[in-house]
Structure 1
Amino acid sequence: MTKKIFYLIDEDVVPDVYRKVIEVKKILSSGKVNQVTEAVKIVGISRGAFYKYKDYVFLSSNDQLGNIVTFSMFLDHTKGVLSATLNRLADFGCNVITINQNIPINDVASLTLTVDTKEMTISIEDVIEKVKELNGVCSLQILARE
């Protein structure tokens, strides 16, 4: 079996038809239109061009490569601590992707939080420092970074 090779290519050098195929996919997935015929008319390509490339042209699922950080934290089981933590992260431009909070044990809840840091306004080290300063945040560390 031959191993498939995938290429990441800068948008500036991608043929226009590939960009339009991606745009058709976005329109269809958004629900703005229900049929390929309508979407290709909006974008300005033929149905044939769409069907020729639709299974081969994708936006990188790693468009956030290097911007995803997963934190592990322990929070006091006190009203408003999670909300304050999320608000502080949002203040710094972090966008929450996933939250997994476990049932508190001894009034402390463990939390795994994955954020997109693409639009972050300060360094990750400063984010950690500032969030740790919040009342009720017992610990915070980076669990993973992509």
Structure 2
Amino acid sequence: MADYSEKFYLVRSDILPEAMKKTLDAKRMLDRGKAASVYEAVNQVGLSRSAFYKYKDAVYPFQQMVKEQIVTLFFHLEDQKGSLSQLLSVAAEFGCNVLTIHQTIPIQGKANVTLSLNTTGMNAGMNRLLQQLQDLEFFDNVEVLSSGA
């Protein structure tokens, strides 16, 4: 018989037992302050306290289990008013946290920008972010210099 005690699995939410889903909902309510106690949270989601305590340390949202992701991007930026601001707005729109920004002094109307982002909270894929950045009219190209934790 296999020992499942320390193994982790990625499972689609639609096949989870209802008690596990409700445990996740109750934990989310507690984390966000929408319930003041376990008793209040389980009552709001329709779960017994015993089921909550059975699953609370065993089930987590996938995003909570993923390590912090740091990506460094490099841009050739045209020297236009507001271009860096638009770049940062796109990063924020995608849920990225800006860690560092380095911009060279513009020479012949162009500056190099290196941007390090924490993408842990990103609400879309990296390819969509890169495409949105490349669609901005003041960039020649966007390069990924590094990706990882």
Query: Normalising to structure 1: TM-score of the pair?
Result: 0.68
Residue 129 (str. 1) matches residue 134 (str. 2): yes
What stretches of structure 1 of length at least 5 have no aligned partner? none
Check whether the contact 1:73–1:138 (CA below 8 A) recurs between aligned residues.
Answer: no
Displacement of 1:88: 5.0
Specify every segment of 5 or more residues in structure 2 that has no aligned partner in the other structure, as ranges: none
| Percent of aligned positions that are identical | 28
Counterparts of 1:43 and 1:104, CA distance in 2: 49
Q: 2 CA distance for matches of 1:78 and 1:53?
A: 54
2:147 is matched by which residue type in structure 1?
A
How many aligned residue pairs are there? 135
Tell me the C-alpha RMSD between the 2 structures. 3.7
Counterpart among 29, 32, 37 of residue 34 in structure 2: 32
1:56-135 to 2 correspondence within 5 Å?
Answer: 56-61=58-63, 70-74=71-75, 80-87=82-89, 95-102=94-101, 104-106=103-105, 109-115=113-119, 116=122, 118=124, 126-131=131-136, 133-134=137-138
On the 8 A contact 1:27/1:33 being kept in 2, the answer is yes
Question: TM-score w.r.t. structure 2 length?
Answer: 0.67
Is the 8 Å Cα contact of residues 69 and 114 (structure 1) preserved in structure 2? Answer: yes
Conserved 8 A contact 1:22-1:57: yes
> Is the contact made by 2:74 and 2:115 (CA closer than 8 Å) also made in structure 1?
yes
Task: Give 1:63 shift.
Answer: 8.6
* CA spacing shift, 1:118–1:69, aligned 2, 3 Å: farther
2:15 equivalent to 1:13? yes
Distance 1:111 1:18 in 2: 39
